[in-house]
Homo-oligomer: A and B are copies of this chain.
Amino acid sequence: MQIAIVLYDRFTALDAVGPYETLGRLPGAETVFIGERTGPVRTDTGALALVADKTLAEVARPDLVVVPGGPGQSAQMENETLLGWLRAADATSTWTTSVCTGSLLLAAAGLLNGRRATSHWLALDVLGRLGARPTGERVVFDGKYVTAAGVSSGIDMGLTLLGRIAGDEQARTVQLMTEYDPRPPYDAGSPHKAPAHLVEKCREDSRF
């Protein structure tokens, strides 16, 4: 199985690395990071670059597509090179997936029309306006389309999908080896749990 993780300028690193570190441990799978051009692609903070090893054109028929999100997503919403690639790859993919605002790119490509899907909590309204049916779940399956909520949820998506593809035993092994026994020091990881003034502040600061 070939897993293609799409990079673009100002993506969020953990969106891509969460699924990579879990799904990418699928026995026999080949993971490849791809972009419009090969070479370093800067993340949203500017302080980190991940390398695209192949171009979109070089990876035409991946079995599994992962589209991360991040502030840079908005600049890609009318990028026909990327959207066209997504449509073409989706035509033959076994799984088409996203993390965070990556789902807005899938929706912009017309792949989520009428489908249950999710995104970063700040982007759920936009996701609906793009034709999907947003849900508040952390990981959403609708046929072969798998979307995850904000940033860190890509780890949960990766493990869940790994279990579907390779079985529970393999997914549990990866969970154990990555010691994924989370202990957040706070309980503020969703708008339903965080203090209301923080939720409001994030809404005010967001671009959506």
**Which secondary structure characterizes the binding site on chain A?**
mixed
Listed stretches A55-63, A88-96, A109-117, A186-194; interface member: A186-194
Question: A173 → chain B, closest Cβ, in Å?
Answer: 6
Q: Are A159 and B186 in contact (CB under 8 A)?
A: yes
- Chain B residue, CB-CB nearest to A119: B179
Q: Are B180 and A194 in contact (CB under 8 A)?
A: no
Chain B residues whose C-beta falls within 8 Å of the C-beta of A177 in the assembled complex = 150-151, 202
Chain B residues whose C-beta falls within 8 Å of the C-beta of A160 in the assembled complex = 185
Task: Please tell me the number of chain A residues within 8 Å of chain B, measured between CB atoms.
Answer: 64
A50-B51, A151-B21, A185-B171 are contacts. A178–B45 as well, Cβ < 8 Å?
Answer: no
Say yes or no: is A31 at the interface (Cβ < 8 Å to chain B).
yes
One of B169, B173, B182 near A152 (C-beta < 8 A):
B182
Say yes or no: is A10 at the interface (Cβ < 8 Å to chain B).
no
Question: A66 → chain B, closest Cβ, in Å?
Answer: 12
One of B13, B100, B155, B195 near A172 (C-beta < 8 A):
B195
**Chain A residues close to B by CB (< 8 Å):** 12-14, 17-18, 20-21, 24-25, 30-33, 40, 45, 47-51, 53, 100, 120-121, 138-139, 149-153, 155-156, 159-160, 163, 168-169, 171-173, 175-186, 188-191, 193-195, 198-199, 201-202
Interface CB pairs A-B, < 8 A, 11: A12-B21, A40-B40, A100-B179, A152-B178, A152-B179, A152-B181, A156-B184, A163-B185, A176-B194, A177-B202, A182-B184
